[in-house]
């Protein structure tokens, strides 16, 4: 009987190139936008004892592909007290011919981090103003690092302005990103960051609006990454009414548990105003129309991204 291959994180990292990840995630967002991905609503398990956490199960297939993917991703907020990342998990690749598992990707949640960052960078690029002064990052966690890195790299930008509530975490962020070669400055208030930057990425677990309409400059593009349940919020709902380009990775998810949902529930805009990020990436829908428009990309994370990166690893491994 065949042993099921298990691919450890170091081997996963070794077989992926950043450009391939970006291409795969871009294709995934486009496929999802076109309706070519089969992905039922994710499963969510809430745990409260012995620790508080959530496990999200995303799964599906690119229609017609010879594999499908099941991704199990946990988020346990108190893991930091144990010296562990809050995020962990793995991905399974299974045969669409027989249903049998073909490999386990023991990625410890890394592929989720990376596919999220890649989608954020693509969403940043597609709505960015012609001249990006600096990338404004709100938040100081793992995604605050990855989003800055992937977006700066894709746009050829070196300047980052960061805002965080905890001064120690801000200082650590500046250290880490400076070591990576970025010019990082600190904003003491979000308002100051919004005054200095015309490309903003939010990566916090906030439960109230941080980015207020009146603080945002004309021509700014905002990528909202942090809000992934109805109780979280990063953007002033009034921003959605003012914005002229609203892009979503998945309309139903963003209305249900993204920042867009707050604006829709408050009756400030119709959800018809949002367009599929994938169709914008494909050139089939407009993103930014005018230099002075405020544009927003609201991302909640979709199974198509997981399917794309897991399939990429599997193809590399089997020499496809």
> Interface residues with a copy of itself (CB under 8 A)?
1, 3-4, 6, 8-10, 38, 40, 42-47, 49-51, 53-55, 57, 59-61, 63-64, 66, 68, 70, 72, 74-76, 79, 82, 84, 87-90, 92, 94, 96-101, 104, 106, 108
Q: Which is nearer to a copy of itself, 100 or 272 (CB)?
A: 100
Catalytic, 71? Answer: yes
CB 8 within 8 A of CB 27: no
Q: Which is nearer to a copy of itself, 15 or 57 (CB)?
A: 57
Q: Choosing from 71, 81, 158, 232, which is the catalytic residue? A: 71
Phi, psi (deg, nearest 5) at residue 88: -155, 180
Closest CA to 312 of 10, 19, 8, 5: 19
Q: Which is nearer to a copy of itself, 7 or 190 (CB)?
A: 7
289-299 b/e with 16+ CB inside 10 Å = b? eeeebbbbbbb
Beta carbon of residue 201, minimum distance to a copy of itself (angstroms, whole number): 25
Q: SS3 for 190?
A: helix
> Alpha helices, DSSP H only, in the chain?
9-14, 18-34, 110-127, 142-155, 167-179, 190-196, 237-242, 251-257, 259-265, 277-281, 303-317
Beta carbon of residue 192, minimum distance to a copy of itself (angstroms, whole number): 36
Beta carbon of residue 54, minimum distance to a copy of itself (angstroms, whole number): 8
Q: Which is nearer to a copy of itself, 195 or 205 (CB)?
A: 205
Beta carbon of residue 145, minimum distance to a copy of itself (angstroms, whole number): 19
Instruction: Please name the residue that has the structure tokens 């009756």.
Output: 267
CA pair distance 312, 18, nearest whole angstrom: 12
**What residues are labeled active site?**
71
């Amino acid at each position: 009987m065949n042993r099921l291959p298990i691919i450890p994180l170091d081997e996963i990292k070794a077989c992926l190139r950043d450009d391939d990840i970006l291409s795969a995630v871009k294709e995934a967002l486009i496929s999802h936008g076109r309706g070519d991905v089969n992905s039922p609503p994710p499963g969510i398990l809430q745990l409260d004892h012995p620790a508080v956490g959530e496990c999200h199960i995303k799964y599906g297939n690119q229609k017609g592909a010879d594999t499908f993917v099941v991704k199990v991703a946990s988020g346990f907020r108190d893991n930091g007290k144990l010296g562990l990342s809050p995020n962990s998990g793995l991905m399974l690749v299974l045969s669409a011919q027989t249903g049998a598992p073909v490999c386990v990707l023991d990625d410890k949640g890394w592929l989720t981090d990376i596919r999220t960052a890649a989608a954020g960078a693509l969403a940043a690029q597609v709505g960015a103003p012609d001249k990006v002064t600096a990338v404004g990052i709100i938040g100081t966690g793992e995604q605050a690092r990855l989003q800055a890195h992937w977006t700066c790299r894709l746009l050829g930008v070196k300047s980052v302005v960061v805002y965080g509530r905890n001064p120690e975490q801000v200082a650590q962020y500046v250290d880490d990103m400076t070591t990576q070669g970025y010019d990082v400055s600190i904003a003491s208030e979000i308002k100051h960051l919004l005054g200095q930057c015309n490309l903003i990425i939010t990566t916090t677990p906030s439960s109230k609006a941080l980015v207020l309409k009146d603080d945002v400059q004309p021509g700014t593009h905002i990528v909202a990454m942090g809000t992934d349940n109805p109780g979280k919020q990063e953007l002033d709902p009034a921003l959605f009414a003012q914005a002229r380009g609203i892009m979503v990775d998945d309309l139903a998810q963003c209305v249900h548990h993204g920042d867009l949902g707050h604006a829709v529930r408050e009756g400030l805009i119709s959800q018809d105003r949002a367009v599929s990020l994938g169709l914008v990436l494909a050139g089939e829908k407009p993103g930014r129309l005018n230099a002075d428009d405020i544009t927003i990309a609201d991302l909640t994370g979709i199974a198509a991204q997981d399917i794309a990166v897991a399939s990429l690893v599997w193809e590399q491994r089997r020499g496809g």
